[in-house]
Structures are given as structure tokens and as C-alpha cells.
Structure 1
Amino acid sequence: MPKIDLPTAREHLRVEADEAQDALIETWLRAAYLAVEGKIFRRVHADTVPPEDLYGVVADEAINSAALLILGHLFANREAVAEGSRAPVPMGAEWLLQPYINFDGGA
């Protein structure tokens, strides 16, 4: 399964196509996958894992869902400090990524 594309990201965020906003969404989507990789200590690949990447993983529904949750958070919280009280979504990205964590460390 490939990584999330821009139209799917837009659909998840419930926004229309807009060049200025699309650039931000693409940046946040890349950041979301980097956050996923940092959490599980593995490189996430779109289709196949290269033989030299011993710990790599192919993006599947759980990994892509975690990336979308992170993307949604970045989209909704555009500042470092939020007004009011915010709590993590139960069974969110961390829960989805738990089975993929490389406990040997390093990507």
C-alpha cells in the first residue's frame, strides 16, 4: 500500500484544493511520516523495502492511519501553544504504531 497522497490527505482534513494550503499539507504530511519513523525506529517505504534496509517497513493501513492522525493534529494545532485544554486522542497514533516499533533501535 502506498503512502498517503495529497488528495487523500485533503479528504481526511475535509479541505478543498488550495495551492497555498496544499503546500502546507504536503509539508505536514512529510513531517507526519518522519514522526512515524522516529516513533518506530524504522524507515517507512511506499511499496517495497530495499534489501539493504534491514528494519524498513511498507506503509500499511495502520501506519497510514497514524500518519493521518498526526497530520490532523498538525493541521488543527498550527501553533506551539494551544488555547484551552487539549488531550491526546485515545488509541491514537501511538497505539497504531506500537506493533511496528523496532526495539533494536536505529532505522
Structure 2
Amino acid sequence: MPIVSLAQARSHVRVEADYPAEQLQGAISGSQDAAQAYLNRRIYEDANALALARSGYPTAVKAAALARDQALADAVFIEDGNERTATIRLSEIAYREAIAEAEACIHGVVANPSIFSAILLTLGHLYANRTDVVVGAQAVELPNGAKSLLRPYRRVMMP
């Protein structure tokens, strides 16, 4: 569920109500995704949504373990050694990714004004700069940008 509504996004980037929604939806989703990636946790609109996500943790971990165990059991029947090794590695990677996603959910955070503002800042940047190239201007990162707003809520995950 997006933290920033389409109406809030339109107001922030100062476009009219008839501006195509699909042109803003990607930027809204990308802005929230970027904030979640930087925080290493999921962002929820309220405490109930966070509690619901946390309640699914045991099921998610169990499903990941079952999928890994099934893949490992199936790998026993693969005759080619390289293929068997690849299958085992893929099952471990899938398991670690599923656990990381479950961890990001249980360590989630309810959106607060700083997180909301950081998403809007990123949205404004994505709207104003629709390409990777800046022509005729010197580009610099603002000192009090989105990362500054998000940093206090960041969950640093060690490899």
C-alpha cells in the first residue's frame, strides 16, 4: 500500500488533477521502494498494518524452510553434479532472500513525518529529473535530503 497517495503526489509535484496517473504511480512506488531499501525495513501506513505483517512472520519462515528442504531433497535425485550443486545453491539463496524479506517485515516501521517527507523528496526528484543526464547545469546532492530524513530509522544489516 502506498504511503503517499496519488492526490498528495500531484499536490507535491504541482500538477493538475487531469495529469495522467500512470506517469506518477511509478515514481510513487519507486520512491517508497527506495526508502524501504535504504532503511532495510518495510514501511507501513499504521500500527495495524505493521502488526498484520509481523503476524505472518512464522508462516513465512516455515514456508521458506519447507521450500528449501524440498529443493534439497529433490537435488538428491539429480545425477549431474554441476546441476545438483546449482540446485542446492539456488535453494539456499532463495531461503536467505525469503528470510531477509520476512526480517524486513517484522522490523518494519510505521510511516512518520520524516519518512513521509523523504518519500516526497525522492518523488519530486524522480518527477523533475526523468533521465539520468543533466544538461547545462551542475548537479549536487542536497545536504538535508531524503537520506538525512531516513537515517535515524535505518536498520543496518550486516552481510
The CA distance in 2 between the partners of 1:87 and 1:57, in whole Å, is: 29
TM-score normalised over the length of structure 1: 0.88
SS at match of 2:116: helix
Partner of 1:18: 18
TM alignment of 1:82-101, pairs within 5 A: 82-83=134-135, 84-101=137-154
Q: Pick the structure with greater CA Rg.
A: 2
Give the aligned CA root-mean-square deviation in angstroms: 1.7
Instruction: Report the residue type matching 2:13 in the other structure.
Output: L
Partner of 1:60: 112
The CA distance in 1 between the partners of 2:158 and 2:114, in whole Å, is: 20
TM alignment of 1:7-46, pairs within 5 A: 7-20=7-20, 22-46=21-45
Superposed displacement of residue 54, structure 1: 2.1
TM-score normalised over the length of structure 2: 0.61
Q: What is the CA deviation profile of residues 69-100 of structure 1, one whole-angstrom value per residue up to 9, with x for unaligned ones?
A: 00000000011111121111221101000011
Q: In proportion to residue count, which structure has more helix?
A: 2
* Equivalent residues, number: 104
Percent of paired sites with the same residue: 37
Q: Which runs of 5+ in 2 are unaligned?
A: 58-104
Superposed displacement of residue 104, structure 1: 3.2
Q: Which runs of 5+ in 1 are unaligned?
A: none
2:122 corresponds to 1:70:
yes
Instruction: Report the residue type matching 1:27 in the other structure.
Output: G
